[in-house]
A and B are shown apart, each in its own frame.
Chain A
Amino acid sequence: MQDNIILAGVGGQGILSIAAVLAMGALSRGLYVKQSEVHGMSQRGGAVQSHIRISDKEIQSVLIPKGHANAIISVEPMEALRYVPWLNKEGWLVTNSEPYKIPEYPDLEDLKVELERFSNHIILDAGKLAKKAGNKRAANMVVLGAASPFLSLGEDAIIEGIKTIFSPKGTRMVELNMDAFNYGKEIAIKQVK
């Protein structure tokens, strides 16, 4: 069993929460996990990414070699493309469609074309679904939900991760993030069909 996942987004979009959920989920199943984070200067609105590797065997490098990620999970569409050199041929590209703009931001249609070039892709409006769940900030859990069918780490383990990470903030937070996760998952299942 092995997952090599790249999480992508902009500083402040909740990449580290996705990473924490996956890592806690993996630990709850007695699996090995290594996960990189970005702290410091880039967190100020810069591009941030996290590599997360989960395996039933011991993991060496925390960084995923190029062409070896089975999923890119991104909270921002242009950021998803920044890491495609790491995606393997059968890998999944799962991204929020809502842009976080900068002055030279690409044309949205061009961006869509570029994203759809990948046969295995899920593009969804995560912010909208998160709002439906109760808080726009839960867009990170929506994209995680949308990616969940394609990960080796089972859904139960991920849900356990969500509970572990959000329960200190109260049951309402757990429910909200669970809803966000489920909305994302449903869309992904629909899109694949």
Chain B
Amino acid sequence: MKNPNIKLLLGDEAVGQAGLDAGISGFYGYPGTPSTEIITYVQRAKISKERSIHTKWSVNEKTAMEEALGMSYAGKRSMVTMKHVGLNVAADAFINSAISGVNGGLVIAVADDPSMHSSQNEQDSRFYGKFAMIPVMEPSTQQEAYDMTRYAFDLSEKVKLPVLLRLTTRLAHSRSGVITGEPKDQNKLNPPDDTHRFILLPSNAKGRYASLVDMQPELVEISENSKYNKFLPGTDSSLGIIASGIGYTYLMDNYLENKNPYPTIKINQYPLPKKMIRELFQQCDKILIIEEGYPVIEELLRNNIFDDGKVIGKLSGDLPRTGELNSDIVAKALGMKIVDDLSIPDIVKGRPPAMCVGCGHRDLYDELNFLTKEIGKRRVFADIGCYTLGALPPYEAIDTCIDMGASITMAKGAADAGIFPAIAVIGDSTFTHSGITGLLDAVNENSPITVLISDNYTTAMTGGQDTAATGRIAEICRGLGVEEEHLKLIVPLKKNMEKNIEIIKNEINYQGVSVIIAQRECVKFYKKM
């Protein structure tokens, strides 16, 4: 029968619940698939209100990371959440928080997206953990996501370092029953006495960095003794297996009926437990590494110069180097047979995502495409959001999409090089995330670019989160120095098409910065306030 403490939670939600139960005082983050549901979950939780826990979205991942570090400085527990590419944005603060160390427990929950379901790359956040030289937790199941998040806070306070919690899409976005524990009290306000460590002047930073380096053997020892790294003995030493994170579930899915015969190490905590791995290497002829994402462990363990073939995995070609794993892929690497006799019938056609019917972005692209007929080839530098789908037919309206905020800055660089017209398309949330600074660059040089800010009053792609500057976009542009006569508001509706095309055309022809704010609420997520 049902366990009363069991909740059906996404991996993301398990992390959020664990944070709440670990006595957190603040969650900080910027929405990004597959990490978004950590914060949307805690925003709905009753306890967040009761305990006055901070759960509002930040403007971007860097501000989130710094805000969380500030809360940790004050002695309280905090968590930062983001998708993998968000950690690039937060990287400066992230790496340096390892140098200063923390006061209250600080956990950075980052969700990677192998197979790029909703992302532009497959980067593996474990590299960042190694780069910052801090402990990394990588749960295999939703229950472990809960347990390890709670453990990560204790660990963070014990070693006085931030801890990285690495999730991957399938864990973040799968549900399972999770047994939760008793909530802990929140930390009291307790700012540090040794404030020097938070002043990273070279003279202080040198000492801090040296002690971070000196601490590494201790972190390895903690990993060796952690209950989250396990050596599971086996009877057949022709092969040893190291399986980390969700990779472990894909391994064990192949041994539901029979026991796994191979000595196996289940890795959920980094730095890697050296002794355990040494023992596996001594026992076994070959070592298969099963890890979701980049071959991080494999690269560390294999001899890349004089490859003796002992370590196999993604680099040896036994597992695919790109994309997600699954139990079939792992079965093949283990030499097992899989069932693969049916293929998808030919009549099944691809069904790519598309912008909703009635979405204002569509009308904006119709207007831009209409103009193409008149002005000929134009370059449209776009950004990250639902409007990126304007790359697909029937619109094919954009030429670039690289990273958050890159529309305005790339348009500026292209204009510097002589491209005309250079048009940027960016959403309201992406604009506040990291478009503002780029626009200031363009204003300072009065670069001949036309910036279209498609303002739908929400962060639609990730499910309709609040945006940082609803109703204030024009004001921000004015404040940055955009000239009043080249700051236009339009409503992208069919009935306004002619008028809007005229406005866009005039601004494109202006040899300086113009900003056109296309305002129309997202039909799917905009909630009347």
A residues with a Cβ closer than 8 A to B are: 10-11, 19-20, 23-24, 27-30, 32-47, 57, 59-63, 65-68, 78-79, 81-82, 84-85, 87-88, 102, 104-107, 110-111, 114
Contacts and interface: CB of A to CB of B under 8 A. Distances in A.
B205 interface: no
Q: What secondary structure prevails in chain B residues at the interface with A?
A: loop
A102 B1 CA distance: 45
Interface stretch (B169-177, B219-227, B435-443, B507-515): B169-177
Interface residues of B, number: 52
The 8 closest A-B pairs by CB, nearest first: A67-B339, A40-B33, A40-B118, A46-B353, A61-B253, A106-B347, A60-B253, A44-B353
A60 B177 contact: no
Nearest to B10: A37
B327 interface: yes
B327 A63 contact: yes
Nearest to A76: B351
B300 interface: no
B328 A39 contact: no
B34 A23 contact: no
B175 A114 contact: no
A82 B461 CA distance: 25
A81 B348 contact: yes
A35 B175 contact: yes
29 contacts: A27-B6, A27-B8, A27-B177, A30-B1, A33-B175, A35-B176, A36-B170, A37-B10, A38-B117, A38-B173, A39-B37, A39-B462, A43-B463, A46-B352, A61-B253, A62-B174, A63-B327, A65-B326, A65-B328, A65-B338, A65-B339, A67-B340, A68-B339, A78-B348, A81-B345, A85-B342, A87-B342, A102-B349, A104-B349
Contacts of A43: 353, 463
A78 B347 contact: yes
Contacts of B142: 34
B497 interface: no
Contacts of A60: 249-253, 256, 327
A45 B249 CA distance: 31
A87 to B, nearest CB: 7
A40 B328 CA distance: 25
A114 B343 CA distance: 12
B118 A41 contact: yes
Interface in B333-374: 338-345, 347-356
Contacts of A87: 342
A40 B176 contact: no
B328 A66 contact: yes
Interface in B256-277: 256
A174 B10 CA distance: 24
A62 to B, nearest CB: 4
Of B173, B348, B386, the most chain A CB neighbours within 10 A belong to B348
B266 to A, nearest CB: 12
Contacts of A57: 256
Contact of A41 (B2, B6, B170, B353): B353
Contact of A40 (B174, B331, B351, B462): B462
B62 to A, nearest CB: 22
B461 A41 contact: yes
B352 A39 contact: no
Contacts of A32: 176-177
Given A42-B353, A65-B253, A85-B343, 5 more contacts: A33-B176, A34-B174, A35-B176, A45-B351, A60-B252
B389 interface: yes
A157 to B, nearest CB: 11
A150 to B, nearest CB: 18
B456 interface: no
Contacts of A24: 8
A104 B34 CA distance: 30
Nearest to B3: A30
B36 interface: yes
A68 B173 CA distance: 21
